[in-house]
């Protein structure tokens, strides 16, 4: 598959004789059984999601600017960073973390815990060049990247432009690229965003080197080995980010006000998750393994939709998706015929183009509204000639032009449905086709693209106080009396 400079997709002849050939080996010959297995494995591995979390991003950059801070307990805070003013901890050095300071903590509380800790303001101008290089690294591994403030990201491997033979090798390569910037990355790979993030949090445990891959089918056993307290370390609405980053994050996608078309989904409500973990701890439930055998209906009845989401996560079910930071302007696909194709062959190719583009849109969680079709007829070359002159102004070369015909249709709503795209592409073909005309190539384009996905983070818990054990027993007693 070819990618042009604009990022559009140009699959070579879809469905032609070349597409029907068996897979080729690296030397051009027929692929062996081992190579065919690697090819099928590659197709499976490309469906994973990689989460990259940068350890102590702010503090690492501050140490690079001032090596005297290395090994000292210090904190990067909002505003002026002074503990006698309102503000929160954005990042804490490893020495400060050992003293009990964690990101998100009020600066005043951090000062009471460790009064000898250094408090520094955030220097966002110094961070921006490193952030830009990080994002370039991420985009080199996939065109489906969701940035998480400030330096973390979710990377969908299905959009990887390079062959993926092993997710571990790919993660090691990315980790090396990040290490070249002087940073340390925690990388988790799984089929869903939440499990990938949990894997990243565990990637330094048990002697691991910062990379943890959860193969398909192993999600439940992995999640059920974890404590519920890890939920509190998932990404939420970062309290230490300046206002500009917040607006930038919300503006990365397009919100239409409806539930069908969403931009960047809502983040984790850290307070709701903390309330959930504390409530379950009151009943002696502290691990995902204890949540798995519980009734999902009972959890939803007591904890709202967040309870059902927790049960699904404990069962290893994670359907969260990567939402690209900015959708592409268009998605293009082209078919070049090996001969002059008649109308029936062209219509069959249009069906394949429409289905292919619809699959690409769904894969990237996008929807388009403008459908365009370009046709290159196999008619005799026109006498339209472009004159090229030499330095003396005399005729040096004549180049004949190659004309294309086509047009576009604007739909009533954005869509990613193959039937709708194919229907309108065929309408365009019927409008521009003339009897007896044959075609050398066709191109289909979907424009006016927006991000289209349902919220991928769990919904907030119901707004109410934490139920007590006595309230639970009273509710059970009342329910029993009503049934009687």
CATH number at residue 394: 3.30.1490.100
Ramachandran sector of residue 81 (left: φ over 0; alpha: ψ -120 to 50; beta: rest) = left
Q: Are 330 and 449 in contact (CB under 8 A)?
A: yes
Q: Is 44 domain-assigned?
A: no
Domain of 368, in residue numbers: 330-448
| Distance of alpha carbon 11 from alpha carbon 156, whole angstroms | 20
How many CB atoms lie under 10 A from the CB of residue 148?
18
Closest CA to 273 of 223, 234, 225: 234
The residue count of the chain comes to 484
Asked if the structure places residue 257 within a domain, the reply is: no
Domain-located, residue 92:
no
The residue to which tokens 């370009």 are assigned: 374
The alpha-carbon radius of gyration of the chain (Å, integer) is 28
Q: Where do we find the tokens 């384009």? A: 445
CA dihedral 389, 394, 399, 401 (to 10 degrees): 80
- Residue 331's DSSP bridge partners are 446
pLDDT the model gives residue 34:
46
The pair of three-digit structure tokens given for residue 44, joined into one six-digit string: 């499976």
The token pair that represents 134 in the structure block: 């990080």
> What pLDDT is recorded for position 360?
84
Q: How much is the pLDDT for 41?
A: 39
Q: What is the pLDDT along the chain (484 residues), one digit of tens a residue?
A: 333 333 333 333 233 333 333 444 433 444 454 444 444 433 444 468 999 999 999 999 999 999 999 999 999 998 888 888 888 999 999 999 999 998 888 999 999 999 999 999 988 888 889 999 999 999 899 888 888 877 899 998 888 877 777 889 999 999 999 999 999 999 999 999 999 999 999 999 888 889 999 999 999 999 999 999 999 888 743 322 233 333 333 333 322 233 222 334 445 667 788 889 999 999 999 999 999 999 999 999 988 888 999 999 999 998 888 888 777 788 889 999 999 999 999 999 999 999 999 988 887 778 999 999 999 998 754 544 444 444 444 444 434 345 789 999 999 999 999 999 999 999 999 999 999 999 999 999 999 998 875 444 444 444 444 444 444 544 455 445 444 4
Q: Which two tokens stand for residue 312?
A: 């699904």
3-state SS string over 213-239?
ECCCCCHHHHHCCCEHHHHHHCCECCC
Residue 472 domain flag: no
- What total of structural domains would you count in the chain? 1
- Predicted local distance difference test score (pLDDT) of residue 438: 93
Residue 371 lies in a domain: yes
pLDDT at 8: 36
Q: How far apart are the first and last CA of the chain?
A: 67
**What pTM was computed for the model?**
0.63
Within a domain: residue 410? yes
388 domain residue, yes or no: yes
- Residue 243: inside a domain, yes or no? no
Say what the pLDDT of residue 321 is: 80
Cis peptide before 150 (omega within 30 of 0): yes
């Amino acid at each position: 598959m070819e990618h042009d400079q604009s990022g559009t997709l140009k699959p070579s002849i879809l469905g032609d004789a070349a597409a029907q050939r068996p897979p080729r080996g690296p030397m051009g010959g027929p692929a062996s059984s081992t190579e065919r297995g690697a090819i099928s494995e590659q197709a499976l591995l490309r469906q994973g999601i990689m989460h990259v979390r940068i350890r102590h991003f702010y503090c690492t950059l501050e140490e690079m600017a001032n090596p005297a801070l290395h090994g000292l307990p210090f904190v990067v805070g909002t505003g002026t960073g002074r503990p006698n003013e309102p503000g929160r901890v954005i990042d804490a050095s490893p020495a400060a973390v050992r003293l009990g300071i964690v990101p998100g903590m009020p600066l005043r509380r951090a000062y009471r815990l460790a009064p000898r800790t250094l408090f520094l303001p955030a220097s966002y101008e110094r961070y921006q060049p490193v952030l830009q290089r990080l994002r370039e690294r991420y985009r080199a591994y996939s065109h489906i990247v969701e940035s998480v403030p400030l330096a973390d990201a979710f990377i969908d491997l299905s959009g990887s432009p390079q062959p993926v033979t092993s997710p571990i090798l790919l993660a090691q390569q990315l980790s090396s690229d990040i290490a070249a910037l002087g940073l340390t990355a925690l990388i988790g790979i799984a089929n869903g965003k939440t499990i990938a993030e949990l894997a990243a949090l565990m990637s330094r445990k048990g002697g691991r080197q910062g990379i943890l891959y959860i193969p398909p089918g192993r999600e439940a056993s992995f999640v059920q080995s974890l404590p519920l307290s890890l939920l509190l370390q998932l990404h939420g609405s970062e309290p230490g980010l300046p206002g500009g980053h917040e607006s930038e994050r919300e503006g990365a996608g397009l919100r239409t006000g409806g539930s069908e078309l969403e931009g960047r989904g809502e983040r984790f409500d850290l307070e709701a998750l903390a309330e959930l973990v504390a409530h379950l701890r009151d009943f002696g439930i502290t691990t995902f393994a204890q949540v798995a055998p519980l009734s999902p209906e009972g959890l939803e009845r007591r904890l709202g939709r967040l309870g059902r989401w927790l049960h699904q996560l404990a069962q290893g079910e994670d359907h969260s998706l990567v939402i690209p930071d900015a959708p592409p302007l268009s998605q293009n696909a082209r078919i070049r015929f090996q001969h002059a194709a008649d109308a029936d062959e062209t219509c069959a190719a249009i069906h394949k183009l429409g289905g292919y583009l619809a699959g690409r849109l769904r894969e990237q969680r996008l929807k388009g509204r403008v459908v365009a079709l370009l046709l290159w007829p196999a008619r005799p070359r026109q006498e339209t000639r472009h004159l090229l002159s030499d330095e003396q102004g005399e005729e040096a070369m004549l180049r004949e032009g190659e004309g294309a015909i086509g047009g576009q249709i604007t739909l009533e709503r954005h869509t990613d449905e193959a039937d709708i795209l194919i229907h309108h592409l065929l309408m365009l073909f019927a409008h521009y086709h003339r009897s007896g005309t044959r075609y050398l190539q066709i191109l289909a384009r979907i424009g006016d693209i927006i991000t289209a996905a349902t919220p991928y983070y769990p919904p907030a818990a119901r707004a109410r106080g934490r139920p007590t054990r006595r309230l639970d027993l009273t509710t059970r007693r009342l329910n029993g009396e009503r049934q009687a």
